[in-house]
C-alpha cells in the first residue's frame, strides 16, 4: 500500500488553504468519520450507556465495548478488559500512581523518571513521592540527548519500584529502546509505566510482547476526540488494582455498611464515561485501518527532514530533532521563540513554542523554550514551503 | 519614525498610519530598539516580572518632583516594544496620573493588540498591573 496524501487530506474538514497546521504533536486534526460519529450520537442517538434498555442506549453500550476491543487490537493487549477509560494520558498516569503504585511503595523506595518526560509523567510521581516517602531518581540524558543503558543499570537498585518512561519525546521525537528498558526494569522486579501520548501516533506498540505494566495514551493525539484517555493494565496487575474513585457503575452492591466493587475495568470507571468521545474514537480507529500507517509516517518524516534542510539557511539555526522524528523542535540564535510564535500565528501557521510541558528537558537543552513544528501525514510539501516563507518573513520583521 | 519622547497623540498617529499588521510590528520592533540599554546589574529578581513566557524587567524610580521614571527590558523584541509604549505612556507622570491612566484602552486604540494572541494580551495585562503596583509600592 502506498500513501496518497491528497486522498488522506480529504478526510480532514479543518484543513484549509489559508492555514498550515504544524501543531499535531499538541493535538491531531479530526477526520470526518470521527466528527460524524460524534454528531450522530448527540444529534440522533443520545443515550446513557450500561443502564437503559432502549435501542440507542444498547447501541452505545455495544460500541463502547467494541471500542475497547479495537484498542486492544491496536496495542496488542490480550483482552479488552485490560483497557480502562480515563480523561487522558495525564489522568491515566495519575491513576496508576494513586492506586497500584501507592499501594506498593514505602519510604525510601525509588521511582526512576527519565529526563525526557513530559510533566504528565513526572509530576504524578513527585506527588506520590511526597505522599509515600519514596525518592525520585532522575535518569539523565547523555550528550546526544538520548538515554543510555549503562546509566540506567547504575540507577537500578533493590529499592527501584517504578520506572516512568516515555515512548517518544514530545520535544525531540527521540524514542527510547523500550524493549531493553522493560527487560532491565523487570530484572529488578520493578514496574514500568509508559507514556504513549506521542508514541502511539508514530509507531506500533505491542504491550504484550514488550511486557509493559501500564501504558497510557490519549485519543486526541491519534485523530480522536478530546477528553478521552486510555490506560492499559497488564493482566497480572488487574486483580491488584484498588478502587480509585467511587460512584455509579463501579460497584456490585452498596449499603451504609460498605460496598462491593465490580471487577476491572468497571471498578476504575466510576460515573458516566465520555460516551460521545468513545463513539467518535470507535469511528476513528475503524477509519485508521484504511491507511498504511507506516507509509503515512514516512511521509511525515520526509517533510520534517525537508523543513530541517531548509531551516539551515537561517543564521543561528539549532535543531533538537532526533533523527527519524517528524517532530522538529529548534531555535534561532538571538531570536526569542515567543516572537516567532506571534509572527507565525499572524501568518496562519500553527506551531507551538515554549517549554512544551517538559521543563527538565528544556533545561537540559540549555534554552528557555523551543519552536516546534510537528509534521503529520496530512501535511504537504506546500506546507513546508509556506512555513519556511513565514519564518523568513518573521525573521525579517524582527531584524 | 517612532521615538520614546512621543506624545500620546503622536503615538496614535504613528500607529494609525500603518496599513497592516506587518507595519505595526515593524514599528513595535523599532520602538524596542529605542529603549535605553537596561543595565545587566538591574536584571535581578526585584525588577523581574514573573509568570511571563519570556523574561521581562521593569524598574520604577520615584523622582524628587513626585513623578516616576521607568526603564526596562525583555528578551522578546515584541514584548520589549510593548514595554517601550507602556514606558512612553507612563514616563514622567505622577502616581495619581499613572493609577488613573486607561492603559488597556490606549493599547486598543493603538490597534497593536488586535493581532496579538490571548496569552500575549495576558502578558500585556501583567505588565500594566506590575507597573501600577510598582508605583503604589513606591509611595
**Given this model, what pLDDT does residue A116 score?**
97
Active site residue B89: no
> Is the pLDDT confidence value at B111 over 80?
no
Give residue B121's pLDDT.
55
- Going by pLDDT thresholds of 50, 70 and 90, the confidence category of residue A17 is confident
Contact A303, A383 (CB under 8 A): yes
Report the alpha-carbon distance of residue A202 to residue A62 in Å, rounded. 29
CA angle (A128 as vertex; A225, A174 as ends), nearest 5? 55
Closest partner residue to B77 (CB to CB) among A336, A346, A393 is: A336
Mean pLDDT, rounded, for B103-128: 73
pLDDT band at B123 (very low <50, low <70, confident <90, very high): confident
The pLDDT, as a whole number, for residue A329 is 98
Q: What are the tens digits of pLDDT across the range B48-96?
A: 998 777 899 999 999 988 899 999 999 999 999 999 999 999 999 999 9
Could you tell me the pLDDT band of residue A86, with boundaries at 50, 70 and 90? very high
Is any Cβ of chain A less than 8 angstroms from the Cβ of B77? yes
**What does the pLDDT read at residue A301?**
98
Check if the beta carbon of residue A268 is closer than 8 Å to that of residue A95. Answer: yes
With beta carbons less than 8 A apart as the criterion, state whether B32 and B76 touch: no
Q: What is the mean pLDDT of residues A348-352?
A: 96
**B75 DSSP 8-state letter:** S
Q: What is the CA radius of gyration of chain A?
A: 22
pLDDT (0 to 100) of residue A158: 97
- Taking residues A284-305, what's their average pLDDT? 97
Inter-chain touch A339–B76, beta carbons under 8 Å: yes
User: What tens digit of pLDDT does each residue of A90-137 get?
Assistant: 999 999 999 999 999 999 999 999 999 999 999 999 999 999 999 999
pLDDT at position A8 is: 98
pLDDT bin (cut points 50, 70, 90) of residue B2 is low
Catalytic-role residue among B35, B52, B85, B112: B52
Q: How large is the average pLDDT for residues A192-202? A: 98
Which of A46-55, A74-83, A239-248, B103-112 has the lowest average pLDDT? B103-112
Q: Which residue has the higher pLDDT, B99 or B107?
A: B99
pTM, full prediction:
0.94
Burial of B18: CB neighbours in 10 Å, binned 0-12, 13-18, 19+: middle
The overall average pLDDT reported for chain B is 86
Q: Do B78 and A354 touch (CB under 8 A)?
A: no
Show residues of chain A in contact with B53, CB under 8 Å: 338, 354, 369
Mean predicted confidence (pLDDT) in A48-67: 93
Q: What local confidence, expressed as pLDDT, does residue B15 receive?
A: 82
Q: Say whether B54 and A398 touch across the interface (CB within 8 A).
A: no
Q: Which residues pair with A111 in a beta bridge?
A: A136, A162
Show the CA angle centred on residue A303, arms to residues A297 and A305, nearest 5°: 105
Distance from CA of A199 to the nearest CA of B (A): 27
What CA–CA distance (Å, rounded) separates A80 from A285?
15
Read off the C-alpha cell for A141. Answer: 540524558
Residue B113 banded pLDDT, cuts 50, 70, 90 = low
Task: Give the helix/strand (H/E) hosting A254.
Answer: strand A251-255
Confidence of residue A176 (pLDDT cuts 50, 70, 90): very high
Q: Is the pLDDT of residue A214 over 90?
A: yes
Report pLDDT for B124: 84
pLDDT digits (tens, 9 = 90+) for A139-160: 999 999 999 999 999 999 999 9
**With contact defined as beta carbons under 8 Å apart, do A237 and A255 qualify?**
no
Contact A342 B29 (CB under 8 A): no
Contacts 24+ apart (CB under 8 A), A242-249: A242/A99, A242/A100, A242/A103, A243/A99, A243/A267, A243/A268, A244/A95, A244/A98, A244/A99, A244/A268, A244/A270, A245/A270, A245/A271, A246/A270, A247/A271, A248/A272, A249/A50
Q: Do A346 and B26 touch (CB under 8 A)?
A: no
pLDDT classification of B16: cutoffs 50, 70, 90: confident
Residue B55 touches partner A, C-beta closer than 8 Å: yes
Whether the per-residue pLDDT at B115 is higher than 70: the answer is no
Average pLDDT, chain A: 96
Say if residue B120's pLDDT is above 70.
no
What pLDDT is stored for residue B125 in this prediction?
85
Q: Binning pLDDT at 50, 70 and 90, where does residue A62 land?
A: very high
CB B69 within 8 A of CB B92: yes
Lowest mean pLDDT among A16-25, A42-51, A292-301, B1-10: B1-10
B77/A339 Cβ within 8 A: yes
Burial of B42 per CB tally in 10 Å (0-12, 13-18, 19+) = middle
A–B interface: beta-carbon pairs under 8 A: 38
Percentage of the residues of chain A whose pLDDT score is greater than 90: 96
Among B138, B6, B136, smallest CA distance to B64 is for B138
Tell me which residues of A are annotated as active site.
Answer: 357
Say how far apart CA A212 and CA B36 lie, in whole Å.
Answer: 58
User: Which chain A residue is nearest to residue B119, measuring alpha carbons?
Assistant: A342
Q: Is A93:A124 a contact under the CB 8 Å cutoff?
A: yes
Instruction: State residue A96's pLDDT score.
Output: 98
pLDDT category of residue A189 using cuts at 50, 70 and 90: very high
Which positions ≥6 away from A240 have C-beta within 8 Å?
A100, A103
Which of A23, A331, A346, A392 to mutate against chain B (most B CBs within 10 Å)?
A: A346
B116 — pLDDT class (breaks 50, 70, 90): low
Interface list for chain A against chain B, based on CB atoms closer than 8 Å:
335-336, 338-339, 341-343, 345-346, 354, 368-369, 393, 397-398
Place of cell 435501542: A55
For chain A, percent of residues with pLDDT exceeding 70: 100
pLDDT score, position B119: 53
B23 touching A (Cβ < 8 Å) = no
Amino acid at each position: 500500500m502506498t500513501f496518497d496524501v491528497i486522498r488522506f487530506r480529504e478526510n480532514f474538514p479543518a484543513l484549509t488553504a489559508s492555514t498550515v497546521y504544524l501543531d499535531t504533536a499538541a493535538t491531531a486534526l479530526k477526520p470526518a468519520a470521527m466528527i460524524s460519529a460524534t454528531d450522530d450520537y448527540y444529534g440522533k442517538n443520545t443515550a446513557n450507556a450500561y443502564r437503559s434498555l432502549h435501542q440507542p442506549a444498547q447501541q452505545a453500550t455495544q460500541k463502547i465495548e467494541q471500542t475497547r476491543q479495537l484498542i486492544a487490537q491496536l496495542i496488542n493487549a490480550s483482552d479488552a478488559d485490560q483497557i480502562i477509560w480515563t480523561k487522558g494520558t495525564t489522568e491515566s498516569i495519575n491513576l496508576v500512581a494513586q492506586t497500584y503504585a501507592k499501594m506498593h511503595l514505602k519510604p525510601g523506595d525509588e521511582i526512576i523518571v527519565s529526563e525526557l518526560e513530559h510533566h504528565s509523567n513526572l509530576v504524578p510521581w513527585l506527588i506520590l513521592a511526597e505522599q509515600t516517602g519514596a525518592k525520585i531518581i532522575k535518569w539523565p540524558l547523555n550528550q546526544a540527548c538520548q538515554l543510555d543503558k549503562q546509566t540506567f543499570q547504575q540507577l537500578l537498585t533493590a529499592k527501584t519500584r517504578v520506572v516512568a518512561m516515555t515512548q517518544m519525546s514530545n520535544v525531540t521525537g527521540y524514542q527510547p529502546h523500550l524493549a531493553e528498558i522493560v527487560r532491565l526494569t523487570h530484572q529488578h522486579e520493578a514496574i514500568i509505566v509508559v507514556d504513549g501520548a506521542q508514541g502511539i501516533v508514530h509507531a506500533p506498540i505491542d504491550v504484550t510482547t514488550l511486557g509493559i505494566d501500564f501504558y497510557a495514551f490519549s485519543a486526541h493525539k491519534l485523530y480522536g476526540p478530546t477528553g478521552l484517555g486510555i490506560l492499559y493494565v497488564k493482566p497480572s496487575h488487574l486483580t491488584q488494582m484498588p478502587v480509585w474513585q467511587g460512584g455509579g457503575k463501579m460497584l456490585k452492591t452498596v449499603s451504609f455498611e460498605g460496598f462491593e466493587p465490580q471487577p476491572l475495568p468497571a471498578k476504575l470507571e466510576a460515573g458516566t464515561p465520555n460516551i460521545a468521545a468513545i463513539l467518535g474514537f470507535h469511528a476513528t480507529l475503524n477509519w485508521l485501518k484504511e491507511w498504511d500507517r507506516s507509509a503515512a509516517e514516512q511521509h511525515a518524516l520526509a517533510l520534517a527532514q525537508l523543513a530541517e534542510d531548509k531551516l539551515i539557511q537561517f543564521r543561528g539555526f539549532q535543531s533538537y530533532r532526533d533523527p527519524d522524528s517528524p517532530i522538529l523542535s529548534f531555535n534561532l540564535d538571538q531570536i526569542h521563540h515567543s516572537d516567532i510564535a506571534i509572527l507565525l500565528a499572524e501568518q496562519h501557521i500553527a506551531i507551538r513554542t515554549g517549554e512544551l510541558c517538559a521543563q527538565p528537558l528544556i533545561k537540559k537543552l540549555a534554552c528557555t523554550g523551543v519552536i516546534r513544528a510537528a509534521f503529520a501525514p496530512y501535511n504537504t510539501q506546500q506546507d513546508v514551503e509556506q512555513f519556511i516563507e513565514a519564518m523568513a518573513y518573521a525573521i525579517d520583521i524582527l531584524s | 519614525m517612532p521615538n520614546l519622547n512621543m506624545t500620546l497623540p503622536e503615538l496614535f498617529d504613528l500607529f494609525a498610519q500603518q496599513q497592516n499588521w506587518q507595519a505595526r510590528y515593524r514599528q513595535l520592533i523599532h520602538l524596542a530598539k529605542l529603549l535605553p540599554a537596561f543595565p545587566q546589574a538591574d536584571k535581578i529578581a526585584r525588577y523581574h516580572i514573573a509568570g511571563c513566557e519570556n523574561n521581562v524587567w521593569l524598574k520604577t524610580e520615584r523622582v524628587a518632583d513626585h513623578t516616576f521614571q521607568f526603564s526596562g527590558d525583555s528578551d522578546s523584541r515584541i514584548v520589549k516594544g510593548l514595554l517601550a509604549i507602556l514606558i512612553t505612556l507612563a514616563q514622567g507622570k505622577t502616581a495619581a496620573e499613572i493609577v488613573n491612566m486607561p492603559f488597556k484602552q490606549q493599547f486598543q486604540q493603538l490597534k497593536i493588540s488586535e493581532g496579538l494572541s490571548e496569552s500575549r494580551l495576558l502578558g500585556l495585562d501583567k505588565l500594566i498591573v506590575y507597573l501600577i503596583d510598582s508605583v503604589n509600592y513606591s509611595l
